[in-house]
Amino acid sequence: MTTASVDPLDTIVRLSRLVGSDPRLVQPGGGNTSIKVGETLLVKGSGTDLRTIGRDGFTTLSLPRLAALAGVDEKSDADMMRFMAGCMLADGPAPSVETPLHSLLPHRVIAHTHDVATMSLTNTADPSAERLVAELFEGQIVYVPYCRPGFPLARAVGAMVGRIPPAATGLTLAHHGLVVWGADAEETHQRLLGVVGKIDEYIAASRRGRLRGRPAPPSPALTPTASPEQRARGASGGAERR
């Protein structure tokens, strides 16, 4: 992947399509991406598909307005959507429910995927999942216990931003997926591939029983368990792409 174009929107469109077309990284079309340009956030719109998204699939929002979320403890989903609509700087699709997560993390390019590898790795009790992530990534990737997607997750991540190691390049979200960031789209893509590849290798080695050099941790479940919200959405007929 290259980022020769000087247009930031074109680079995030290319990154989104690369991620969306890779079945290792997303459930069909899901996940979300963003890029910060000055005081503006360009984020994937709600209901759009990463595999086919174009320039008009992104929403433009004011980062200074979104920054007000850092001091908020509670917000209903309806209030959050109204608030984000008030942060929009141009006509476009409704912002992704994960927009607060993208806005509160201080990184230029962010990709959030619902990849099977990460959900399999974290499909265990929090202490075990946190230990697995720490042993695999040694602070490069930080574990986040399960929070409901949307504002509750963004609030939890926002509260820990100051404690994330400076060298970290992403987060594993229990039962939800992966967040990876970078200075540009190409770096973010390469980091994303590296993290998912490392988790895949670990899971394959666990299956073969070939972990050496230290006591083998419990093998993660190979089929991720649905979160409470995923089970509820399944019972009601499906989930919206985020």
pLDDT tops 50 at residue 96: yes
pLDDT tops 70 at residue 221: no
Distance of CA 6 to the CA centre of its chain: 25
Specify the CATH number of the domain 8-232. Answer: 3.40.225.10
| Rounded Cα gap, residues 99 and 154, in angstroms | 8
| Rounded Cα gap, residues 6 and 11, in angstroms | 8
Band the pLDDT of 220: cuts 50, 70, 90: low
Q: What is the pLDDT of residues 136-166, one digit of tens each?
A: 999 999 999 999 988 999 999 999 999 999 9
